[in-house]
Structure 1
Amino acid sequence: MSCADRIVWLRRDLRLHDHPALAAGGPDARVVVVREPAANGFQRALVDAALDEVRAHRTVEVFDGDPREVIPGLNPTKVWVSADFTPSGLARDRAVSGALGPGVMEAAGSAYAVDPGILRTGQGGHYKVFTPFYRAWCDYGADDPVGGLPGEDGLPVTRAWRDWCGFLRDRLDGYAENRDIPAIDGTSRISGWLAVGALHPRSLLATLAVADAPEDDKEAFARELAFREFYADFLHHRPETAHSDVNPRFAGFRWNESGSEFDLWARGRTGFPIVDAGMRQLAATGWMHNRVRMLVASFLTKDLHLPWQAGAEHFRRHLVDFDVASNQHSWQWCAGTGTDASPYFRVFNPMTQGRKFDPDSRYITRWVPELRGVPAGDIHAIRNLPSGYPVPIVDHAEERRDALARYEEISALRAP
């Protein structure tokens, strides 16, 4: 078997460290990337940045086209990949493997510390609620990083790794509390790197364990990684939930049809400052603080009564950290239709949430500049706002009552 016959095909794993597929292929295997459409321009830029760093240290052949044609067209005798558990990834890999023939394509590793499908309940089923999944995930544990970390054994220190180390050094201490405050830089901001595979959760957990920070802060961050893996595991078992309600009883829920209200929500012109700030941050940067993601999702589904799928698709088109399992199931959690869902009667009040998490309105006024100079109390009460800022497009109290009435219509039909 010549080196030219052996291929490592990179996909959502654009890194050189902690990479089982690269380790399996060895230093002489051809490294191949087939450019596939990114979720959006923000994520495409991050993919290109991660790929450039890989190419700075190893020869990578980049192809355009359909991998179902490109990979078999290279006539390899062996192809190593990181397993892709998404519905579209599984379909693609089945097609490529079928074209290559038996035993040619082999998975080594995945994007997760614990592969989807491994953890099972005591009854042999898959987990449907996060808390027991998290206990099982912690008990199972993660393997040690494969082949060293950046800065070790000649492995390059990448931009993604510097971002991670900066978080450990500067922001992990206090993370459990600060992560909920959108006005401060209290989160890791590495979700995009995880989405394109420039970082692996196995490496993060290994360095997190030895970080000099309070245990509650380290545990809070580990839980966020576990949530990502919980949603991936659930989607693996229920692939239809990428587009359909986890609870099928919600198929009869009365959603409104998308119209001008959706466009105003998407453009950050709802007249609710914290909602508008989040949507404008997303449009400008491809990222939104997680606390605000919950607020804008609740507003779309419970104030505007629009289907979660519409919001999930908008996020897909804009989020630099788009991940199909996390995105779709986070939206379902907010809408009340999903796994371990937020109770249907929990309808976030945009005014009180703004007061609680952005009391001095620093986050709001950063992204809604027409409100700069307005007292924070007026911003959160939505009073005495300048004429250039839109009036609220709905009455929150009225829409909350409407949302509860709609949920009550099907509450008797909900799965136990």
Structure 2
Amino acid sequence: MNADATRPAIVWFRKDLRLADHEALTAAVEAGLPVLPLYIHDVETPGAPRPGGASRWWLHESLQALDASLSECGGALIVRAGRTRGVLAEILRETNATAIHATESYEPFGTRCEADVEKLCREHDVAFHLHRGRLLFVPDDIVTKDGRPYRVFTPFWKSCLAQPAPPPPGAAPKFNSFADARSLQLAELKLQPSKPDWAGGLRKSWTPGERAAKDALSEFIDERIGAYATQRDALPGTPTSLLSPYLHFGEISPAQVWHAVSHAIDAEGGAIEKGANAFLREIGWREFSYHLLHSFPDLPDVPLRPEFKNFPWRDDKKALTAWQRGQTGYPVVDAAMRQLWETGWMPNRARMVVASFLVKHLLLPWQAGAAWFWDTLVDADLANNSASWQWVSGCGADAAPYFRIFNPILQGQKFDPEGEYVRTWVPELAELPANDIHAPWDAPPTVLAAAGVVLGKDYPEPIVDHAAARSRALRALESTK
């Protein structure tokens, strides 16, 4: 037997925590080498992003699910913590591995890590292979005629759709053998909250892992995709796919989603085609965000439109806290922020409403909102979070014009017409009729009394007047010109 045949191939898991449609994993197995599945928890390398609380909870559950899947195949996930380069150097010395396989990243820290690991592998005479899987389309392949990155979504997506369809997703590989190495216990990463245990709402709302991701996709296609185009902005119920955290952690690949939806269109035809195409367009927005981050690595901190660098943002910690806690006095805003705190998620329409309120009604910087979402969302994703906050704030690519200021009262009336969403998350207003629930300060005193609501005591007065806030925001915009 060739001695190299006993040297393992490391599969370096990052945000690709699944077995199926995993090119890096499949390539390692097909090489005929023992596979060493490795996850490195790196918050020590300079520039390493620190996941927020909700993301850490999901990561623990997702790694646990991946380890269970590997265990069913006869292996185990090796968990280490520390600086990526140092950990991999240590693993190479311990195992005499012959190759490292990984799924390519398009985030600034991920690409820097890959360059560092490639250098390490050259020093150790080890092969380093990067594989596709995070996106449907490679960023450098989707550019304008003059070779620049797209900054407007519609032509970007048209260019994507003109490309060959993404390759069909592959099945989970059939493992030949696994290598073993020293591993931390998952609990040693201290990803889960201890005291106080604030994750009860997350556990009630979500089941992380590859199997749950597949179930969520199947349920969406079977039950809701046909109505997606018309119902996706509704605030009550579950009109959307709920796939965003699974895509973020790579428990399902975008190719799996793309082809499952495409097959459903072929099977059902016009019955679901409008909703399915609208949904795939949202997958396109995810791609667009990653392509932007790849081309503009300072996207999380710096506005793409340079005139916004001197925007007169306010510094108002009291107003920021009121927004974070769902105590602004605007029911639809408060409902969304409380849902976020309880479940780690809110619908996209709610995200736009609360983001617009923060940056335009309160004139607080979008980076403060992005930081709160980073800590509280289970699908906190650097590309999507950064691009979306810049879009709402009017300073990013294909941005909503700054003068487009959502009226939170009208948004509630349009997308929660019966007040069901507000009643769920702002129970102190539950007895108000639908006509009054989105603007309780305008409700007659007799209606408030009948509902048991004393404004300023049971529920706050609005922290800002909509008309005055709108005028202030437009004046601030003028100052940048």
Query: TM tier, shorter chain?
Result: over 0.9
Identity of aligned residues (%): 38
1:334 is aligned to: 392
Q: Is the 8 A contact 2:66 2:210 kept in 1?
A: no
2:223 is aligned to: 170
2:464 is aligned to: 394
**2:147 aligned with 1:124, yes or no?**
yes
**2:128 aligned with 1:105, yes or no?**
yes
How many equivalent pairs are there? Answer: 406
Deviation at 1:34, TM superposition (A): 1.2
Regions of 4+ moved over 6 Å: none
**2:31 aligned with 1:19, yes or no?**
no
The CA distance in 2 between the partners of 1:329 and 1:251, in whole Å, is 16
Q: Is the 8 A contact 1:3 1:30 kept in 2?
A: no
Deviation at 1:148, TM superposition (A): 2.6
Q: Could you give the per-residue CA deviations for residues 340-359 of structure 1, whole angstroms, max 9, x where no partner exists?
A: 00011100000011100001
The 1:163/1:407 distance shift into structure 2, 3 A limit, reads same
Deviation at 1:19, TM superposition (A): 0.7
Specify the code of the residue in structure 2 equivalent to 1:392.
P
2:245 is aligned to: 192
Structure 2: any 5+ residue segments left out of the alignment?
A: 44-49, 174-208
Specify the code of the residue in structure 1 equivalent to 2:372.
H
1:153 is aligned to: none
The 1:87/1:157 distance shift into structure 2, 3 A limit, reads closer
**2:207 aligned with 1:204, yes or no?**
no
The CA distance in 2 between the partners of 1:350 and 1:57, in whole Å, is 45
Q: Could you give the per-residue CA deviations for residues 196-231 of structure 1, whole angstroms, max 9, x where no partner exists?
A: 000111111111011134211110010010100001
Aligned-residue CA RMSD (Å): 1.8
DSSP-derived class of the 2:387 partner: helix
Q: Is the 8 A contact 2:226 2:274 kept in 1?
A: no
**2:167 aligned with 1:144, yes or no?**
yes
Specify the code of the residue in structure 1 equivalent to 2:157.
Y
Q: Is the 8 A contact 1:114 1:142 kept in 2?
A: no
Counterpart pick for 1:248 among 302, 306, 309: 306
The 1:299/1:3 distance shift into structure 2, 3 A limit, reads farther
The 1:129/1:112 distance shift into structure 2, 3 A limit, reads same
1:67 is aligned to: 84
The normalised TM-score by structure 2 is 0.81
DSSP-derived class of the 1:21 partner: helix
1:46 is aligned to: 58
Q: Could you give the per-residue CA deviations for residues 271-317 of structure 1, whole angstroms, max 9, x where no partner exists?
A: 00000001101111110111000000000000000110000000000
Q: Is the 8 A contact 1:36 1:65 kept in 2?
A: yes
Specify the code of the residue in structure 1 equivalent to 2:477.
Y
Q: Is the 8 A contact 2:11 2:101 kept in 1?
A: yes
2:474 is aligned to: 404
Q: Could you give the per-residue CA deviations for residues 238-261 of structure 1, whole angstroms, max 9, x where no partner exists?
A: 111121001111111110014100
Highest Rg: 1 or 2? Answer: 2
Structure 1: any 5+ residue segments left out of the alignment?
A: 151-155, 412-416
Q: Is the 8 A contact 1:149 1:203 kept in 2?
A: no
Deviation at 1:160, TM superposition (A): 1.0
Q: Is the 8 A contact 2:26 2:172 kept in 1?
A: no
Deviation at 1:178, TM superposition (A): 1.1
Specify the code of the residue in structure 2 equivalent to 1:178.
Q
Q: Could you give the per-residue CA deviations for residues 145-187 of structure 1, whole angstroms, max 9, x where no partner exists?
A: 342379xxxxx97111011101111111101111100102110
**2:8 aligned with 1:5, yes or no?**
yes
Greater shift, 127-136 or 211-220, is seen at 211-220
2:39 is aligned to: 33
The normalised TM-score by structure 1 is 0.94
